[in-house]
Structure 1
Amino acid sequence: MIHKFKGHILAILTITIWSTTFIVSKILLNQFTPLQILFFRFIIAVLFLSILYPKFKRPNNLKEELLFLITGGCLALYFFFENSALIHTYSSNVSLIVSTIPLITGVLSALIYKTHFFTKKSIVGFVIAYFGVILIIINGNKLAGIEPIGDFFAFIAALMFALYTLVMQKIEKTYHLIEMTRKVMLYGLVFLGIIILISKQSLYIQKVDISLVLSMLFLGIIASSLAFLMWNKAIQMLGSIKTNQYIYLIPVVTTVFSAIILREAITLITVFGAVFIILGLYLSENETETETETETETETETETETETENETENETETEKETGTEIETA
């Protein structure tokens, strides 16, 4: 009971941190480009994780290293498109669209790994959630200075994180939790370095003050290092399904913080969009959880039946052996 309670606390803390990153990143974008933010964020994260866990394990095989490279690339692209989206639209809009990650993950998992996702309830949830996304995008078209391209970038970001999650599941859990997180960040840093070289974008920063430094340290140490460690630990304690349900809170927390700190407007359409997204996600994830529990119960029943059959067979063999001994005597 206490073990699960700690898992819920870790999940809530992580979601609260991630919800504020939309706002912190939007503030940093006044002085930095998206690539600059990501590059320094990843460097800080890798250095901090190396201090926490200075051990480095030798690679197992080339295939696994390729998977790490893909996850690092997906994570880097997720942050890049998320930051790019924040330039063109409200941080609350970005958080709402990014909150569809569990749903996108479920759809991709069904298509790639042939998992059971396309049930009636999950399809209804999918339609409702994306109707909410459409409302958010339409709302962006009607607001001055807001471009729908920002909402599109937010959707691509959600897609990248979903791919990151699916590929991450294929990596063998032979690494320490900190080392695995650091390795993904390191490959993400390499991926970003290649993009910077190709685009010939400068990393030179003209103006730096204490608030910008603290914001960057927050993204690198708290949001990228500790938050990912807490999230992965919460998954170990609660399971991926229950932990992912906390993602529903991101739009709510971000919208509240955005209204308080950035003075962003909360329109009626935004509220309706948020309600549809959260409702759709809940329906889909709740269905998935029910199916998982049913499968677990079925497996348990099968194992119990098998054990009972084995016990019966053993008893029968024992009786036969006893009968044979009596006849011999």
Structure 2
Amino acid sequence: MSKKNIGIGAAFPATLCWGVAIVMSKGALNDFPPITLLVFQLLSSVIFLWCVVCSRRRARPGLSDVAKFSWLGLLEPFLTYMLVLTGMTYSGASEASVLQSLESIMIVLIAALLFREYPSGKFVFYSMLVLLGIFIVLGSESYFINKEWLGAALITLGMLAAAFYVVLSSRIAEKYDVFYIVASQQTLALIVALFIFPFEWRGFAVSSITWGAWSLALLSGVIQYALAFVFYMVALRYISAGLAGVYLNFVPLVGIAGAFIFLDEKLSLLQLGGASLIVMALVLISVSAQAKAATYKNLDEPVEKDI
């Protein structure tokens, strides 16, 4: 199996984990305030990851190397999910899933800005269709009346932080053990989250939380932070940040379907049309990226970097 295929094979389960976790997190927000939920999700993820690291017994990087990649945990998951979870208290899982599609566009634009990995004309055109679809889905008056615009703004800022994380992580993913990278990053994120946790903890009644709610919060942490991040770091080891970002395009599809099935969230016909436009444009981006990659003879090289 070529390195490119390994990277693509790892990107798909990462997408599935993130799409499912959006729905799970939205459900957990019915019982937990956002920062509290983030702390418990990170706690379950960090315990899981360090257990895996200890069982693997791989060579550990030095402290200077750990410092080089650990700080990225402040971008994601800390800043990203602090903004996303807070934003989801004002908006639904369907809208949050739609806004996830911004991340792949931001990844390519940031890669172009920082590393001169310039997008093609087709990518720019399809990205404009994605933005149009998002405008249609989020363009109802309720977003201005019910403060849902604030949720959309916070989630968008979260996607910007996530895009910077992906682009910068692509430069270190191939150098170190992915479990150690993710465990170190999320440990730092947990430490920082614990500093702001007491401000939200006041008035939070632990005794009122059911075992089902605790299970949902802790399981979503393992899926959303541990499994999804490890899969994605593996993907970044073998393919470019731009191509890896393409597979994030399927997160909205998973999230919207999950929100409809499990949370009974329904979109209007106009919103469904906008969501369909987004999915169509994202599929075209993926097809275009695959077609471009197929024109190269050596598929083991990360040639997708000029998407």
For the criterion TM > 0.5, the same-fold answer is yes
Per the TM alignment, residue 246 of structure 1 is displaced from its structure 2 partner at its CA by 3.1
**Match of 1:75?**
77
CA distance in 2, matches of 1:195, 1:289: 43
AA of the residue aligned to 1:74: E
AA of the residue aligned to 2:193: L
1:17–1:223 contact (8 Å) kept in structure 2: yes
Task: Indicate whether 1:97 and 2:96 are aligned.
Answer: no
Q: What is the alpha-carbon root mean square deviation over aligned residues?
A: 3.3
CA distance in 2, matches of 1:228, 1:142: 31
CA distance in 2, matches of 1:123, 1:4: 24
CA distance in 1, matches of 2:253, 2:212: 26
Task: Indicate whether 1:57 and 2:56 are aligned.
Answer: no
1:15–1:250 contact (8 Å) kept in structure 2: yes
1:140–1:146 contact (8 Å) kept in structure 2: no
CA distance in 2, matches of 1:51, 1:263: 36
AA of the residue aligned to 1:61: S
% identical aligned pairs: 18
1:22–1:86 contact (8 Å) kept in structure 2: no
Per the TM alignment, residue 97 of structure 1 is displaced from its structure 2 partner at its CA by 0.9
Per the TM alignment, residue 107 of structure 1 is displaced from its structure 2 partner at its CA by 0.7
Where in structure 2 are there 5+ consecutive unaligned residues? Answer: 302-307
**Match of 1:201?**
200
1:75–1:160 contact (8 Å) kept in structure 2: no
Corresponding residue SS for 1:100: helix
AA of the residue aligned to 1:19: G
Per the TM alignment, residue 7 of structure 1 is displaced from its structure 2 partner at its CA by 6.3
Deviations along 1:77-97, one digit per CA (max 9) or x if unpaired, are 111111112111121111011
Mapping 1:125-274, distance limit 5 Å: 125-139=126-140, 141=142, 145=146, 147-171=148-172, 173-196=174-197, 200-202=199-201, 205-206=205-206, 207-236=208-237, 243-274=244-275
Mapping 1:4-15, distance limit 5 Å: 10-15=10-15
Q: CA, structure 1 residues 48+142, in 2 after alignment: closer, same or farther (shift >3 Å)?
A: closer
Deviations along 1:79-136, one digit per CA (max 9) or x if unpaired, are 111111211112111101112211110011111222222x322221221111112112
CA distance in 1, matches of 2:37, 2:228: 18
Per the TM alignment, residue 259 of structure 1 is displaced from its structure 2 partner at its CA by 1.5
AA of the residue aligned to 2:137: I
- Give the count of matched residue pairs: 296
CA distance in 2, matches of 1:169, 1:14: 15
Per the TM alignment, residue 274 of structure 1 is displaced from its structure 2 partner at its CA by 1.6
Corresponding residue SS for 2:200: coil
CA distance in 1, matches of 2:246, 2:173: 24
2:127–2:281 contact (8 Å) kept in structure 1: yes
Where in structure 1 are there 5+ consecutive unaligned residues? Answer: 301-329
Normalising by structure 1, we get a TM-score of 0.77
AA of the residue aligned to 1:87: T
Task: Indicate whether 1:277 and 2:278 are aligned.
Answer: yes
2:107–2:245 contact (8 Å) kept in structure 1: no
Answer with 1 or 2: which has the greater Rg.
Answer: 1
Corresponding residue SS for 2:140: helix
